[in-house]
Chain A
Amino acid sequence: KNEVEQSPQNLTAQEGEFITINCSYSVGISALHWLQQHPGGGIVSLFMLSSGKKKHGRLIATINIQEKHSSLHITASHPRDSAVYICAVTLNTGNQFYFGTGTSLTVIP
């Protein structure tokens, strides 16, 4: 059983489309992270949030603590957004960090 589930596993979109990646978790958390891993392998932390919504450029992350669900949205998608997006949660005990299996996004020009 995975503590963190992501959907979809794979996503292909046309440039300009609005994209949503979902993350559900089954444990009590203190924070949820969205990470981006490019084909070259480097990992970038996009957001860390514990409530509400955060926005950075064309990226928006939301979390609903009651429903144990988070979404990552990309507006006006671009081929350079092609990457694996990973959801991770920090348990509210502070001693564990669980990862989703990632969503592989390909944006076609």
Chain B
Amino acid sequence: DAGVIQSPRHEVTEMGQEVTLRCKPISGHNSLFWYRQTMMRGLELLIYFNNNVPIDDSGMPEDRFSAKMPNASFSTLKIQPSEPRDSAVYFCASSSGPYVYSNQPQHFGDGTRLSIL
């Protein structure tokens, strides 16, 4: 059974470029989470969706960040324009259950390691 699939695994790009990270949640899961992990700040929740609807995006750092979930099997996190301080590992996770943060564990993807030069 496939887990959460993220792509690309690694991304290196120059500042100012648009970056798009992709996530395919586990089939049947109706909650999806985007996280960012840095050495300085650890893990941070950026945004989460329930039934494809963004529920809370208060963790999104700036307007340069946007996330979409056009259907139950796909989500994107976009950074435009990218800056060196956006360099981090970005994780996507999904879980099942009727409510966000219901009593179900989250399943994490392997992450995208993003480096902005």
Contact with B along A5-34 (1 / 0, CB 8 A): 000000000000000000000000011010
Which chain A residues lie closer than 8 Å to B56 at the CB level? 95-96
- Across the interface, which residues of B come within 8 angstroms of A101, CB to CB? 42
Is the beta-carbon distance between A45 and B108 smaller than 8 angstroms? yes
Does the CB pair A42–B101 fall under 8 Å? Answer: no
| Chain A CB within 10 Å, residue with most, of B99, B104, B108 | B108
In angstroms, Cα B99 to Cα A33, docked, is 17
- Is A41 close to B, CB under 8 A? yes
Number of B residues, CB within 8 Å of A: 23
Contact in complex: B106, A45 (CB < 8 Å): yes
How many A-B pairs fall under 8 Å by CB? Answer: 49
| A85 CB within 8 Å of chain B | no
Cross-chain contact B89 with A48 (CB below 8 angstroms) = no
Question: Given that A42-B111, A45-B108 are contacting pairs, would A88 and B101 also be in contact in the complex, using a CB cutoff of 8 Å?
Answer: no
Provide the residues of chain B in CB contact with A52, threshold 8 Å.
none
**Does B44 lie within 8 Å of A42, measured CB to CB?**
no
Contact of A48 among B100, B105, B111 (CB under 8 A): B105
- Flag if A99 contacts B100 (CB, 8 Å): no
User: Is B103 close to A, CB under 8 A?
Assistant: yes
Residue from A33, A42, A43, A99 whose CB has the most chain B CB atoms within 10 Å: A43
Q: Are A41 and B89 in contact (CB under 8 A)?
A: yes
Across chains A and B, which 4 residue pairs bring their CB atoms closest together, nearest first?
A43-B108, A45-B105, A99-B43, A97-B45
Q: Which residues of B does A touch, CB under 8 Å?
A: 33, 42-45, 55-56, 58, 89, 91, 93, 99-101, 103-108, 110-111, 113
* Apart from A31-B103, A100-B42, 17 more pairs, CB < 8 Å: A30-B101, A33-B106, A41-B89, A41-B111, A41-B113, A42-B108, A42-B110, A45-B106, A48-B105, A50-B103, A86-B42, A90-B101, A95-B55, A95-B58, A96-B45, A97-B45, A102-B42
Report 11 cross-chain contacts, Cβ distance below 8 Å, ordered by A residue: A31-B103, A45-B106, A48-B104, A48-B105, A94-B100, A95-B55, A95-B58, A96-B56, A97-B33, A97-B101, A100-B42
